[in-house]
Structure 1
Amino acid sequence: MPDALQKLLGRLQELNEVGAALSRERDIDLLLERILDAAQMLTHADAGTLYRVTDDGSALRFALVRTHSLGLHQGGRSGQAVDFPDLPLYLPDGRANDSLVAVHAAVHDCTVSIADACGSADFDFAGSRAFDQRTGYRSCSFLTVPLRNHDHELVGVLQLINAIDPATGAVQAFSQEDCSIAESLASQAAIAVTNRLLITQHERLFESFVSLINLAIDEKSPYTGGHCQRVPALTMMLAEAADATTEGPLAAFTMTERDRYELKMAGLLHDCGKITTPVHVVDKATKLQTLYDRIGLVDTRFEVLKRDAEIDMLRRQLALRPQADAAAEEQLQRGLQCQLQELDGERAFLRHCNLGSEAMLPHEQQRVRDIGTGRGWRDPQGRQANFLTPDEIENLSIRSGTLTLAERSIVNHHIVATIRMLESLPWPKHLRNVPEYAGGHHERMDGKGYPRGLVREQLSWQARMLGLADIFEALTAADRPYKRPMTLPQALTIMRKMRDNGHIDPDLFDVFVRERVYLRYARQFLEPEQVDLDAVHAPAP
């Protein structure tokens, strides 16, 4: 086989390998760099520039600039910004900006090869000459190729400068083979860039929908709105700490970028079912709260009872007339005061019960029932009724918290709704675990969680991470209407008990404490008064 043909076949093989590599690249900046690298390698170009079309489609923007002999690398992941202005595609009068070779190639969809720019009068190379004068470089041969995708949309322009003879190192013109190779590469590159941008746009659209759901939950409940943002953040902190662990049960746990993205999405969607939960249940700050706090109605009834007691006393006083009996009247006054004090005491007791800040003892629950059924009052219709309705007795007798069993069931149903919502979506392969991760964050290691009663071995590490993060965020959150936020020592003490009683994963909790994940989270999300220095330096249990 002739050397020329062998050489051509070798370059085609390199082009195929480059095309395959481009189709696999996910990072747009790295993709652009690989395109320029490949173009310079295949054509032996010393310098190259990759332009991208601006968002409004009016100009070419320098994305990458590279000159091997000068060690120049601007744009992309270099950390050095490209200091060249955009190139307008059209002049103010609407004509194409044909004086610039990159623009001419883009507008007219043609490849332009120039053997020696110094002797060319067809295009304006003032910018190149200024660069040469500043750096001592000599821009001679140019090969400019537009990048258009399968829909013939302009994606960018590839410009190669100074083809180098591999044998002599001298600058030469780009050959016809170079033009063919560059055009083929440009076609593959344009499709790869378009596909990557489309995937990125779809991901952004998906993330926007996720943010929209969380925004709806935030707007629905100002008390738990931050929860949907803080839990994913803490989950990712814990996941990164687990990924960095090199010993113990989590030594083999690793995450790729796709794994991280999948877990992040699961974290953002872990409570999406709350969009179905009634606001008055989610935000129930007191035991008698529905759309409003019904303790005001109870207060009104006490005022009615006090008024009735006073009226009854005055009537008895009048019955003593016309004869005056000071002792009897004084006795009536003392009786009234005793009644009023008793009513005020019961009123204060019920108001305290309504807060739900402390667990109720059995005798306190019985006292609520005694007040509710033992006292009577005349309702607005003039009928004699029990002082408290059965619903009010049930609510005020809640042993712990502010939710009845029925309301707690409604709140717990949000995870069922979450699972149904997520499992109904056609997840792509790299996100197929989102429903399992998000749907398992209320399960317990001992199988006593909900909704499915799964045990530790049936749960992924990621679901266990979300469960731990969900609990810690709830304990330390400062925006709940029904409780005060815990300090780090308080939260960690409770978390240790949860570890010991089979609620949370012990190995993950060890990483959480040993790697001070809680401290990283506290510095970002907790109030200063919650971060106790004793907890910061507390040894792992």
Structure 2
Amino acid sequence: ETIYNRVHEVRMRFEVVKREAEIEYYKALIEGRGDPDALKAELDATLARIDADWEFVAKANVGDEFMAPEDQERIREIGKVQWTRTLNDRLGLSFEERKRKDRTPPVPVPAKEYLLADRDDHVVYRDALEPAAQPDNPFGFKLNIPEHKYNFGEIYNLCIARGTLTEEERFKINDHIVQTIIMLEQLPFPKHLKRVPEYAGGHHEKMDGTGYPRKLTEDQMSVPARIMAIADIFEALTAADRPYKDPKKLSDSIKIMSFMKKDAHIDSELFKLFLTSGVFQEYADRFLEPYQIDDVDIAKYLE
């Protein structure tokens, strides 16, 4: 899945592979290449395997479970299945698509194609680093920059260990924080608002120094900035207006945040205050859908 969900294209390839298996079965029957019952049993087994492989790929595309190494290997094995392309794949392309496609010479048809592939034309090269990503940038950003701007490789995207975002996509998404800081630091805030850029730009920092974009540690962040990080995470988990995710229930959101506390991603003392003050419940009563509000036993998160 990218901005355009290509799972429909992949599903059609599975359909093609099934039709090719059926055609091969009927050809074998006509040519008398085996016992009809045995050929039918072989076809049924092949079609059942293809159906199971498709369901596995479709589930991997959703990304709601951890992708174990053995599951990633199964994706790669499924991708080795071949089908026959008989049409020119250089027609109807946009300018950018054609540029990427022209990196490799065309293959005459009929051509064997893989069911899933990571091709060179799936990669969008990074032309140059943005000023904010330069090592000596004046904003103190410490960014882990992916080699490529984007990678649309099918196996690459299906084998993401957690979620559906590639390293390249996450870097682009995180750029909103960078741009927030750059923009806010240009504004002439009055004295009582001068720390707004710090508060607004620090909501993706983590207490252990692995956050974004400055890799600040707990002792380098003010209390309001650490509070903002907790508030931002809670709001994101429970939000019902995001097209890319289902809204979490209250108990699930608190449970996820407790793991983040254990991993030193959020301030443990402030998380405790978040629970004991009841502010999470007050927010839920005002802003969450009724079906999201369930019981939360905060005692088990205060140990």
TM-score normalized by the length of structure 1:
0.43
Alignment-derived partner of residue 340 in structure 1: 47
Alignment-derived partner of residue 475 in structure 1: 237
Stretches of structure 1 that go unaligned for 5 or more consecutive residues are: 1-287
Alignment-derived partner of residue 35 in structure 2: 328
Alignment-derived partner of residue 299 in structure 1: 11
Q: Is the 8 A contact 1:488 1:535 kept in 2?
A: no
Residues of 1 paired with 2:296 and 2:234: CA distance? 18
Select 2:83's aligned residue among 373, 377, 389: 377
Q: Is the 8 A contact 2:206 2:215 kept in 1?
A: yes
Q: Is the 8 A contact 2:200 2:225 kept in 1?
A: yes
TM alignment of 1:132-281, pairs within 5 A:
none
Q: Is the 8 A contact 2:250 2:296 kept in 1?
A: no
Alignment-derived partner of residue 163 in structure 2: 401
Alignment-derived partner of residue 359 in structure 1: 66
Question: 1:350 Cα shift?
Answer: 0.5
Alignment-derived partner of residue 491 in structure 1: 253
State, as a whole percentage, how many aligned pairs show the same letter: 45
Residues of 2 paired with 1:496 and 1:406: CA distance? 28
Q: Secondary structure at the match of 1:411?
A: helix
Question: 1:539 Cα shift?
Answer: 8.5
Change in 2 beyond 3 A, CA 1:536/1:445: closer
Question: 1:529 Cα shift?
Answer: 2.5
Q: Secondary structure at the match of 1:533?
A: coil
Q: Is the 8 A contact 1:419 1:438 kept in 2?
A: yes
Question: Is the radius of gyration larger for structure 1 or structure 2?
Answer: 1
Q: Is the 8 A contact 1:402 1:482 kept in 2?
A: no
Stretches of structure 2 that go unaligned for 5 or more consecutive residues are: 89-109, 119-152
Q: Is the 8 A contact 1:355 1:482 kept in 2?
A: no
Q: Secondary structure at the match of 1:504?
A: coil
Once the two structures are superposed, what CA deviation does each residue of 1:444-463 show, in whole Å capped at 9, x if it has no partner?
11211111011112112111
Select 2:117's aligned residue among 385, 389, 402: 389
Question: 1:487 Cα shift?
Answer: 2.4
Alignment-derived partner of residue 166 in structure 1: none
Q: Is the 8 A contact 2:258 2:301 kept in 1?
A: no
The structure with the greater share of residues assigned to strand is 1
Change in 2 beyond 3 A, CA 1:535/1:479: farther
Residues of 2 paired with 1:359 and 1:317: CA distance? 44
Residues of 2 paired with 1:343 and 1:501: CA distance? 40
Change in 2 beyond 3 A, CA 1:500/1:329: closer
Residues of 2 paired with 1:310 and 1:516: CA distance? 62
Alignment-derived partner of residue 144 in structure 2: none
Select 2:2's aligned residue among 280, 289, 297: 289
Change in 2 beyond 3 A, CA 1:338/1:469: same
Residues of 2 paired with 1:539 and 1:289: CA distance? 36
Alignment-derived partner of residue 42 in structure 1: none
Q: Is the 8 A contact 2:157 2:166 kept in 1?
A: yes
Change in 2 beyond 3 A, CA 1:449/1:477: same
Aligned alpha-carbon RMSD (Å): 2.1
Question: 1:507 Cα shift?
Answer: 2.6
Q: Secondary structure at the match of 1:339?
A: helix
Residues of 2 paired with 1:536 and 1:525: CA distance? 20
TM-score normalized by the length of structure 2:
0.76
Question: 1:363 Cα shift?
Answer: 0.6
Give aligned pairs, total. Answer: 247
Residues of 1 paired with 2:296 and 2:226: CA distance? 27
Letter in 1 for 2:65: E
